[in-house]
Chain A
């Protein structure tokens, strides 16, 4: 009997219900993918201009700070959001809900994203004195993703202990 209960608990443990926070991360990361893809299409010359209701999106995208080591910042952002989306989609699968590696990866990528977005926001405000609404949207998205990744970290820590 004890063995039977243990087996059911193991199944319960292995198939934990997907947390809402991780689903929200997936939705936010998907929005981030499109946001960064739009800027990347402009930066790579696929589209000729940006529709920008607030700020000076094109000037910001053509500023010297819009690339890091020759790679457009928007392309780096696109890569980060694709990675976050993939991790979140895997992470909502019941068997991976308590997977420590996924929780850590989401927190690490979004943490770096928050730091980088803070730097870019500083550049917009204090160096080039221009704003890009899509960059601001991205900064908000990655900050929300980072905050939503914290419960996953706690779950992973609790599962480990």
Chain B
């Protein structure tokens, strides 16, 4: 019985190659039906800015409270930083209630994007909301639902959904802003201001120009420090209670006072 020639054995692979080809075709067709085009997410990175000390003095944050308040509190924060979300949930409302609304303090929010996936985009989303006078509403939504959008491949879509729920907000205009590069320069300047002041992590607070380091674990400790820095603003006022407000959104846990490092 003659043995088959090697050439004919090689040709026995033909059905195998046909099967491979069919599998490849089927896989390509399947993937083609599953493709979702990348949506325009908007600028998610800073631009190079180089401000002089004089220009840095004029970098605008987003402020709350009386312009002539005796105390000025600067907060440098990143919307995607978990500690900032805890700070926003547990301490910041008490600052507003006890210091800002009583006219003792002006509170100024500066973006300091650390480099999380959506740090810069979320900072711009805040500015886009501010354009419509809705920064603090969006600030609460973004921090309160941080876990919802942080892992979303299209965080901008989540922010637009939040905008729809804020009364009086034009979600279409907001979306146009978020999905563009608007406020890229402003957020970059805010970050440069933070760097010039030695900010390395978030949240970082400055009270009348003095850095609060380490950040206290409770509002009462923070107010005690503020009282030491600006005692005149509290003349005759009793010390603050240590109670924290109810937990908004899905942010949970206790403020640890730690900062997220850059």
Which residues in A have some Cβ–Cβ distance to B below 8 Å? 8, 11-12, 14-15, 17-18, 23, 26-27, 30-31, 34, 37-38, 42, 45-51, 58-59, 61-63, 92-94
Contact = CB atoms under 8 A, between A and B. Distances in A.
Contacts of B36: 47-51
Interface of B: 3, 6, 9-10, 12-13, 16, 19-20, 23-24, 27-28, 30-31, 33-39, 117, 151-154
Contacts, number: 72
A58 B35 contact: no
The B contact surface, by secondary structure, is helix
Contact of B19 (A17, A27, A45): A27
Contact of A34 (B6, B19, B27, B37): B27
A47 to B, nearest CB: 5
Contacts of B31: 34, 37-38
A19 B151 CA distance: 45
Contacts of B27: 30-31, 34
A66 B67 CA distance: 47
Contact of A62 (B13, B33, B117): B117
A8 B135 CA distance: 84
Contacts of B24: 30, 34
Given A15-B9, A27-B23, A48-B37, 14 more contacts: A15-B6, A17-B12, A18-B12, A18-B16, A31-B23, A34-B30, A45-B38, A48-B36, A48-B39, A50-B34, A51-B33, A58-B151, A59-B151, A94-B9
Contacts of B10: 15, 93-94
A8 B6 CA distance: 11
A68 to B, nearest CB: 17
Contacts of A59: 151
